């Protein structure tokens, strides 16, 4: 995430989200009542033309909204901010109307003004601004050719293009040896790309070549195989397959699953500690507050809807809890309720803590 303006005296930040994680950060930072500005578009009827047959025109403009609802739309990789228009170009009489701004990574910046920024909200923005997500290494292959690229936020950088040199179909032994040589060349190129970028590896392509390469990697280069995070089908190989994978949303789908997996791991640890009965976990606001007072919280797990549902003194109290945990070197994790792990956390009161030591 890029921070273009920081005017906390007036409660204002202007940011540009760069990826899916940045949208997730904004989803958890935006509150009802915030004022946001962004470039958007709206259907407007021509002035003085109220006939039913007149078609409205979609006009690009910058609008200011008072936030009412925020939706994290995972299916299309965007944030939807719904609210009341509080500022608009003078020529359009739309103030007071409802509108939804769609925020897409690297497309539209967002000005956010709050009555009060909580420290944990600012920290999340700053962490997103400072983080440098490693590029994803995307491998697109079939039985004849392979393309390897590093996918950066700014675009695609090809790392290698490799062609198989397979003998005729009647020469089974020769084809097996040539295929092994082909896969070995691919793995060597992937290894070099991984050493340069430290990014995870996704293998795509038609047919079964991707599965065969993955098995070959596990057999011949197990350390590299550990960095292969997903296999996915596309209709072509080489550069065409890479572009298809990016265009079709394969990357965003896989990376969303990674974040869900990280959150599920935390929830599974929470449930395992509960089952053990050793007292290394607290859940529900009363138990968590007790653990906070004793400095026992190592990791605090909070359902996203738990925070968003609090207002007034309850919201202030929750924010102080998060700030205290971070001040005492604990980690705060906002858990999505759009997957099973978040639902399980909600069933425990929406808030729980993994403890440094048992409390009674």
Q: Please give the model's pTM, rounded to 2 decimal places.
A: 0.63
Per-residue pLDDT, 171: 64
The residue behind tokens 């065969």 is 212
Q: How far apart are CA 269 and CA 276, in angstroms?
A: 11
Q: Give the residue-averaged pLDDT of 154-173.
A: 79
For the domain 2-44+52-130, what is the CATH code? 2.30.30.870
Give 286: exposed, middle or buried? Use CB within 10 Å, 0-12, 13-18, 19+.
exposed
**Mean pLDDT score of the chain, rounded to an integer?**
88
The answer to whether 355 touches 292, Cβ cutoff 8 Å, is no
Pick the CATH number of 260-355 from 3.30.300.30, 3.30.1330.30, 3.40.630.40, 3.40.640.10: 3.30.1330.30
List C-alpha distances in Å: 158 to 67, 132, 189, 239, 242.
42, 20, 11, 8, 9
Domain ranges of the chain: 2-44+52-130, 136-248, 260-355
Q: Give the residue-averaged pLDDT of 196-215.
A: 93
Q: Shortest CA distance to 205 belongs to which of 182, 173, 226, 224?
A: 182
Query: Quick one: tokens of 271?
Result: 């449930």
Give the confidence band of 128 by pLDDT, cuts at 50, 70, 90.
confident
pLDDT digits (tens, 9 = 90+) for 74-101: 656 789 999 999 999 988 889 999 999 9
Q: Shortest CA distance to 308 belongs to which of 248, 350, 264?
A: 350
Give the confidence band of 273 by pLDDT, cuts at 50, 70, 90.
very high
Cα 290 to the chain's mean position, in Å?
Answer: 32
CB atoms within 10 A of CB 339: 17
Of residues 50 and 173, which shows the higher confidence score?
A: 173
pLDDT digits (tens, 9 = 90+) for 185-199: 999 999 999 998 888
CATH 3.30.420.60 corresponds to the domain 136-248: yes
The answer to whether 230 touches 249, Cβ cutoff 8 Å, is no
Q: Give the residue-averaged pLDDT of 155-183.
A: 83
* Beta-sheet strand order (sheet of 281-283): 281-283, 351-355, 297-303, 331-335
Give the confidence band of 170 by pLDDT, cuts at 50, 70, 90.
low
pLDDT digits (tens, 9 = 90+) for 44-56: 876 655 555 567 8
Q: How far apart are CA 306 and CA 345, in angstroms?
A: 10
Give the confidence band of 251 by pLDDT, cuts at 50, 70, 90.
confident
Query: Quick one: tokens of 322?
Result: 């998060």
């Amino acid at each position: 995430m890029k921070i273009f303006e920081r005017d906390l005296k007036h409660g204002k930040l202007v940011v540009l989200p760069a990826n899916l994680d940045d949208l997730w950060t904004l989803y958890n930072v935006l509150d009802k009542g915030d004022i946001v500005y962004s470039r958007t578009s709206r259907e407007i009827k021509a002035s003085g033309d109220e006939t039913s047959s007149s078609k409205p025109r979609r006009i690009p403009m910058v609008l200011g909204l008072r936030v009412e609802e925020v939706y994290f739309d995972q299916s299309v990789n965007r944030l939807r901010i719904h609210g009341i228009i509080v500022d608009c170009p003078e020529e359009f009489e739309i103030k007071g109307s409802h509108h939804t701004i769609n925020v897409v990574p690297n497309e539209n910046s967002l000005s956010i003004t709050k009555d009060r920024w909580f420290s944990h909200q600012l920290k999340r923005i700053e962490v997103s601004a400072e983080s440098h997500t490693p590029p994803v290494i995307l491998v697109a292959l079939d039985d004849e050719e392979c393309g390897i690229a590093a996918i950066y936020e700014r675009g695609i950088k090809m790392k290698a293009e490799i062609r198989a040199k397979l003998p005729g179909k009647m020469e089974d032994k020769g084809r097996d040896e040539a295929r092994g040589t082909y896969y070995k060349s691919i793995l060597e190129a992937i290894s070099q790309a991984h050493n340069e970028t430290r990014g995870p590896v996704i293998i795509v392509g038609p047919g079964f070549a991707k599965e065969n390469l993955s098995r070959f990697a596990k057999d011949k280069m197990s350390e590299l195989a550990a960095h292969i995070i997903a296999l996915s089908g596309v209709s072509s190989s080489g550069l065409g397959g890479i572009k298809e994978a990016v265009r079709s949303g394969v990357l965003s789908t896989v990376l969303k699953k990674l974040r869900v997996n990280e959150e599920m791991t935390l929830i599974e640890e929470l449930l395992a500690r509960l089952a053990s009965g050793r007292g290394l976990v607290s859940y529900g606001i009363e138990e968590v507050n007790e653990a906070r007072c004793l400095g026992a919280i190592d990791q605090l797990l909070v359902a996203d809807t738990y925070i968003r549902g609090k207002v007034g003194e309850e919201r202030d109290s929750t924010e102080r809890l998060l700030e205290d945990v971070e001040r005492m070197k604990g980690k705060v994790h906002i858990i999505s309720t759009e997957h099973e792990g978040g639902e399980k956390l909600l069933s425990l009161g929406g808030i729980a803590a993994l403890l440094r030591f048992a409390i009674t």
